[in-house]
Structures are given as C-alpha cells and as structure tokens.
Chains A and B, each alone.
Chain A
C-alpha cells in the first residue's frame, strides 16, 4: 500500500517535471530574445527602409511588409482550395480504397520538408511558369506547402460535427449541399479557420523555401506588384545573424526575431478571438 502511494508520487512528479521543463524552456527562449532584442525596437526600426551601409540608420519595414504580403498571398492561395478539398473528401467522396489512398498521401505531404517545396517552387513556378523570383511564386510555393496542413485540419473539423446532425437534416428532406451549408459548415468553420491560420502562421516563419523563390536580403523598394521580389523577416533574420559584418547585426537579428514572434502572436490571437466568438454557440 505504501509502495502504491510512493509510486503514485513518483509518476506525478515525473509528469509535473516534464511540464515544468517544457514551459521553462519556452519561457527562457522568449525572455532571452526579449532581453537581447528589445533594445533595437524603435519607431525607426519598425517603419524605416533598410539601410545596408549602416544598419543603425534604417529599419526592417520592407521585411515586415514583405512577410505581411506573403501571409495574405498564402491565405488567398491555400485557404479556399484547402477547405473545399476537405469538404469534398469528407462529405462527397465515397469512402473507398482510392479516397483512403488520397487522404493518406495528403497526410504524408504534410510531413515533406519545406525545402523540398522550395525546390519544387523554383522549378515549377519560377522557371517553368516563368513567374521569376517573385511574391506570387513564393505565395504559391508556401500555399502548396500549407495545403496539406489546412486540408487535414479542416477534415478534422468536419469530422467533429456529429453524424446525427446530418441525419436529422436529411430526414427533413434537405439535400446534401443544403445540409452541408446550413448544418455542417456553420459548426465546423471555426475549426477550419483555426487550423488554416495556424498553418499559415507556421508558414510565414519558413525561410528555406522562400530563399529559392523570391525573398531577397536587400531591396530598396517595397513590393508593388505580385511579380516583385520582396524582403521577408525570417530570411532577413538569417542573413543578419550569419552573414552581416556590422557589429550591431546580432542585436538587430534579435530585434527582427522579436518582430516575427509578435507577428505570429498577433495572428494566433486573431484565431483565438475568432474561435471564441464562433464557439459561443457550440454546445454539443
């Protein structure tokens, strides 16, 4: 009996230890970046154009705008297609061998390393479709990369709508699309959007694929068309941390990562608010 109590305590301590460890690590990363990077954050840093010769003279505004445009581009490319695909696969497609293979393939695609999408984007969008290294090529590349994540998340959201709701709707003489539109979608949209935006906030932190398809370290203008090159926070951060000779480069890299984290945080809190509002009605 004593042994049993002791064992309880050991396991409990083990799990609690693991939790404390992971939370502490994350907190440490955050605080470290905050401490190192907050010094350079200023209005000039956030809104100034990049000054290559003396980095203290400029800011990372073009990189913020670049990443922002990229996020919008990826949303436009992948959210509608991803959600529609999930609806088709989950609601319309017959549950047969072929469908299961496709679902499995999509789950596997979600695990393909991002750099592979980069090389695909370079070969297909940049060279074959002749888009050049550009914002649109990067949006399409990251769009392809996020698509499997969005499809998978949306499918889970659709599956979470109880079958009895659909049954009830069909029994009242509703057709399939009516049932999807009036019963299934209103109850799964929050989940689908949450999954989508989380995927996109992960994608905008990607460096490897966008280097190949359109991000540059230094341009003196803001992107004005989808065929322009652009600066992006993660790539900018990478160059500052590893290639730049200025003595302030390290500090500026930390500042840039702080901005990137803030951007992702803003996106995620947007998701949280959206989810909260859509969930208020959800009661099963």
Chain B
C-alpha cells in the first residue's frame, strides 16, 4: 500500500465462531477518507471481518479472537475501550434495509437521542443535513412523519445511511448494502458513497465485483478467511498478482 496514513489496522488477526476458525492471520491497513471494498465468494469471512471493526460480533456468544485490531492506533478489543463509544465512531449499514418502525424523522433522530442530544432545533437541523447528505431529502421532505416502511427498498437503505451519518461517524461499514436492491437504486447508492468518501471512511463488503471496481479505491480479496490480495483497486483488477485472484475475477469460481 502506498497510502501511509492508517485509520484501522488488523495485525495477525484470527477469529473463531465456537470451534470454527473463520479468519486466519489477517494483516491489513485501511486508510482514511477512501473506499475500501472487501470481495470474495460467500462464506469467505468478509462479513465477519467487517463486523469485527465495530464489534458487532460481541452480540454472538462463543466467539473468540487472537491478534490485534487497531482503530486510531488503539486496540478496540481492550477492556477499557467502550463498545458504545466505538460504535458512535464507526457506523454500520446492513445487507437488508432495517429502518426502525418509526417515522422517517424519528429514524434519523434515533442516534442523536441515544447520545442524549435534547435540543429540538439541533436534532431537526442534523436530521435535515443527514437526509441531504444521503440524497433523500428531496424525496421525503414533505413526509417526514410518515412511517419509514412507506419508502421503497432503495430509499429505506438511503435512510439507513442517513441514520448512520447523523451521529457523524468517522467510518461507515456497509455489509452488502445493495444486494437487496435493483440496479437503479444501486446506482444511486454508489453515487452517494463516492460523494461521502470525502468526509467519511467507507468500508464496503460486496458480492458484486463490478461494484468494487466502480467505486472503491482499494480492494481486498478474501478466500476461506485469508487475505489473498489487497491493493489499489486498479491494480487488483488489471494486473492481479496472484493466480487465485485472477481466477476469481475471471469468474472461474465463486
């Protein structure tokens, strides 16, 4: 990697679900203000890897890890690092849009309320700003009190992005955010992500290699829990160093 700034770093990182090891000796540096894509076939550990970064795997019992995962040079798995604080800095958007059963406004305001921000004008202002950033404002500005479920799938996903943006995270993790969406909704989200990377680091898991090629700056190819190749997206797609990467990109397996 030519980029020398590092925001997140995996060092000799192993991960197990009960007895099954899913990540093997991951070493990876993720740089700020760019889009990093994780690609690889189903079950290769992409989602597990991304979920380690905001410790969503804590919710599952019987997990175990070894090695270090640094965020701003601090090991996030240390006891004294509050997981709640960590998740305020590292937001997440899930595979299936999961708005809360509340109004559109309440959805975006939720994270602010969790942070005990009481001022109504401040909340209102942040909600508007976040929805604008997520390119959703123009579509919903007259219906903020409607249920979030009245939106289309693509709109719901952009609402989830707005919800994550509202608490101004440094990093947003996206776990296959477009896999449940049609091509037009996907294109909108891709456009949005490219715009967002100026202020927020984005790490995206995707099934879709073309998507990684279109939007990401760096790409990491994972296979069976091991990082096979990690470099600039242009390099990995045009001159992959390893035969396995080349085979995957050619569609020989996966």
Chain A interface (Cβ within 8 Å of chain B)? Answer: 94-96, 162, 164-175, 178, 182-183, 187, 281-284
Contacts and interface: CB of A to CB of B under 8 A. Distances in A.
Interface in B95-121: 96, 98-101, 110-111, 113-115
A239 B206 CA distance: 72
Given A170-B56, A172-B163, A173-B111, A281 B101 contact: yes
Interface stretch (B31-39, B84-92, B228-236): B84-92
Interface residues of B, number: 27
B8 interface: no
Contacts of A183: 100
Contact of B149 (A162, A164, A171, A284): A284
Given A165-B100, A165-B101, A172 B94 contact: no
Contacts of B87: 170-173
5 contacts: A166-B59, A171-B54, A171-B56, A172-B110, A281-B147
B23 interface: no
Nearest to A175: B84
Contact of A187 (B84, B101, B111): B101
Contact of A173 (B94, B96, B115, B160): B115
A36 B85 CA distance: 69
A53 to B, nearest CB: 60
Nearest to B166: A172
A164 B96 contact: yes
A95 B62 CA distance: 10
B149 A283 contact: yes
Interface in B50-72: 54, 56, 59, 61
Contacts of B59: 166-167, 170
Interface of B: 54, 56, 59, 61, 84-85, 87-88, 91-92, 94, 96, 98-101, 110-111, 113-115, 147, 149, 160, 163-164, 167
A104 B96 CA distance: 33
Given A167-B56, A167-B59, A182-B110, A172 B98 contact: no
Nearest to A173: B88
A258 B111 CA distance: 53
A168 B96 CA distance: 11
Given A164-B94, A164-B96, A173-B88, A95 B101 contact: no
A173 B101 contact: no
Contacts of A173: 84-85, 87-88, 111, 114-115, 167
| Chain A CB within 10 A, most for which of B54, B110, B147 | B110
A42 B67 CA distance: 80
A95 to B, nearest CB: 6
B55 to A, nearest CB: 9
Nearest to A186: B101
Contacts of B110: 169, 172, 174, 182
A172 B147 contact: no
Nearest to B92: A171
A95 B85 CA distance: 26
B171 to A, nearest CB: 12
A170 B59 CA distance: 9
A84 B133 CA distance: 41
Contacts of B163: 168, 172
Contacts of A166: 59
Contacts of B113: 182
